[in-house]
Amino acid sequence: MNENSDIQAHEILDNLTLFYGPKKKFVAICAGTGCRASGSLKVKEALEAELKKQNMNDVDVLATGCLGFCEKGPMVVIHPDKYFYQHVKVEDVPEIVSKTVANGEVISRLVYRHPETKKTLYREDDLPFYKKQHRIVFGQNGMLDPSKIEAYFNINGYQALAKALSEMTPDQVISEVKKAGLRGRGGGGFHAAVKWEGVRRAHGDPKYVIANGDEGDPGAYMDRSLMEGNPHSVIEGMIIGAYAVGSNQGYIYVRNEYPLAVEHLTIAIAAARENGLLGKNILGTDFSFDIHINKGAGAFVCGESSALFASIEGRAGEPRAKYVHAVEKGLYDKPTVLNNVETWANVPLIINKGADWYASIGTEGSKGTKIFSLVGKINNTGLIEVPMGTTLYEIIYDMGGGIPNGRKFKAVQTGGPSGGCIPESLLDIPVDFDKLYEVGSMMGSGGMIVMDDTSCMVDVARYFLEFLKEESCGKCVPCREGIRRMSDILEDICAGRGKEGDIELLETMGAAIADGSLCALGGSAPNPVLSTIRYFREEYETHIKEHRCPAGVCKALITYSIDAEKCTGCGVCVKVCATQAITGEKKKAHVIDKDKCTRCGACIQSCKFDAINVK
């Protein structure tokens, strides 16, 4: 190592940081994928034009990554007071600038109102959604424009890298991460430092470092939001990891469905190279490392390590048996560290603030925080970051605000297609890697899909098995054929063709598939079925024995009818019905022809009087 490198790294970085100047008053507008879909980019343009018009050139507009509370988008946070405005439209912009930005005056129609107490809450931190969160990783999103590296410098970006390169040996970096207790955020929860140590010790050259951004679990989008909203945190984590294990080449494998993430990562990597943070002699040291982006092409199994390597190598993403681990023989049969995007984003924090600080957050076996996507039948949908050990109840009721439309909570699905459904009786469990596993589910990448009494658990199991049937790569028999058979049985149960003994058969097959499959996809595939049988067995029995779907979901087991007392004869349902199954005179109760009705749900969605019954 270069002798002068100790001083150099910090000095070089300080020069970069100084160059970009101090913080200013600013308006942050969420430009994550969710808010973009709700029109936030137009609001951003309007804000910029209006600030110019009103001669407020000292105020910046930051198009930030995802702020988490996607339900309320487009949302705007006005700094330094952190006033939070929801559902902002272009028409609101002149008033926001002239009142709030200029004079600190709050516009009451745009602020959040507590759904129960009806109290208005002005500041971001006061909102129940944010209040109990601990946003050490994700909170940075709101402070920076992800397309500008100087914004990341402003929040102490790349300081951890400078510290690692100049003050720590690779072994010290690894032992710090080990002491922090960082476990992989992608699913398995394997200790990151153990992998790193393995690769550092392994023989073979070159060594590779990979960020897994193939966020395949449906219902999880925290990695997307990190790559889009704070790409440099992932890159910085990877460089530190590469330094620790002795690697010069890294890859970020991003899902095909995430174009904005690819865009922002590409910009960030180019900026890091320009500033000497990637490439040869990083920050004046003799350590060199670079990153290449690989786009996936729509295959769930590529989130599995050996399938991901195959995909980067340009082949079909088929996993292989892991007699030899990736730390010995991974990408191109060379020692490889593969960590999930969120895991990498945690690394700079550990180096900056120390392992003791990090390990003080969380539970005995699971340290730090975890980002979850709280979606489905829940009032406050969005991304939340909480300390490990927070209970499901706190997440769903305190932050999530409970179930919409006064419906009843039924289950929360965690861990994606590898996970399971957790019932109401277990809402008190603290969420961490080990607890979720104990109750038959898993952490996965952090998706939490909340279901109410209109969600059918058999249908949910059928949905996941259909998903896995499509996504099984087909290499090993238990997974390919077994999942197909389980899926057929579930299909039958939902179509009213269920038989006595089906539940037991599913249980037996589930155990066999879990035992016999080559990779984690097959190994965990039965989980959605086994966990729903475990907690909702009577729902399966009702489908099989009574040919009834209590939740009103399985089409073959339900009929639609119109409540003559509630129907006003407005005719809206007649217009939306695709099969002309609804007839009736204006202003008189309508009727549904059960033979023509396809139970598509269009009439239910359009009826304002709740007059369509499903039984």
Binding site for other proteins (CB under 8 A): 33-34, 36-38, 70-71, 73, 215-221, 224, 255-259, 294-300, 311-318, 373, 375-377, 381-382, 413, 416, 447, 449, 451, 455, 460, 463-464, 467, 471, 473, 576, 578, 598, 600-602, 605-606
Q: How far is the CB of 200 from other proteins (least distance, A)?
A: 25
Q: Which residue lies nearer to other proteins by CB, 104 or 474?
A: 474
The values of phi and psi at residue 357, to 5°, are -60, -45
Q: What element of type H or E holds 511?
A: helix 502-516
Three-class DSSP category at 537? helix
Q: How far is the CB of 221 from other proteins (least distance, A)?
A: 4
Is the bond preceding 80 in cis, omega lying within 30 degrees of 0? yes
Q: Which residue lies nearer to other proteins by CB, 192 or 262?
A: 262
The values of phi and psi at residue 113, to 5°, are -115, 130
Q: How far is the CB of 540 from other proteins (least distance, A)?
A: 18
Q: How far is the CB of 97 from other proteins (least distance, A)?
A: 27
Contact 503, 544 (CB under 8 A): yes
Q: Which residue lies nearer to other proteins by CB, 285 or 413?
A: 413
CB atoms within 10 A of CB 106: 17
DSSP conformation letters of 188-220: S--BHHHHHHHHHHS--SS-EEEEEE---STT-
CA neighbor of 56 nearest in space, from 103, 108, 105? 103
Distance (Å) of CA 614 to CA 45, 79, 172, 562: 46, 49, 63, 9
Q: How far is the CB of 376 from other proteins (least distance, A)?
A: 5
Q: Which residue lies nearer to other proteins by CB, 50 or 217?
A: 217
CA neighbor of 425 nearest in space, from 302, 329, 536? 536
Q: Which residue lies nearer to other proteins by CB, 174 or 612?
A: 612
Name the one residue in this structure whose structure tokens are 């965990």.
524
Q: Which residue lies nearer to other proteins by CB, 155 or 572?
A: 572
Tokens encoding 526: 């039965």
Q: How far is the CB of 227 from other proteins (least distance, A)?
A: 10
Q: How far is the CB of 421 from other proteins (least distance, A)?
A: 11
Q: Which residue lies nearer to other proteins by CB, 240 or 384?
A: 384
Q: Which residue lies nearer to other proteins by CB, 214 or 432?
A: 214
Long-range (24+ apart) CB contacts under 8 A made by 174-178 are 174/200, 174/244, 174/245, 176/350, 176/351, 176/354, 176/355, 177/244, 177/347, 177/350, 177/355, 178/355
DSSP conformation letters of 236-260: HHHHHHHHHHT-SEEEEEE-TT-HH
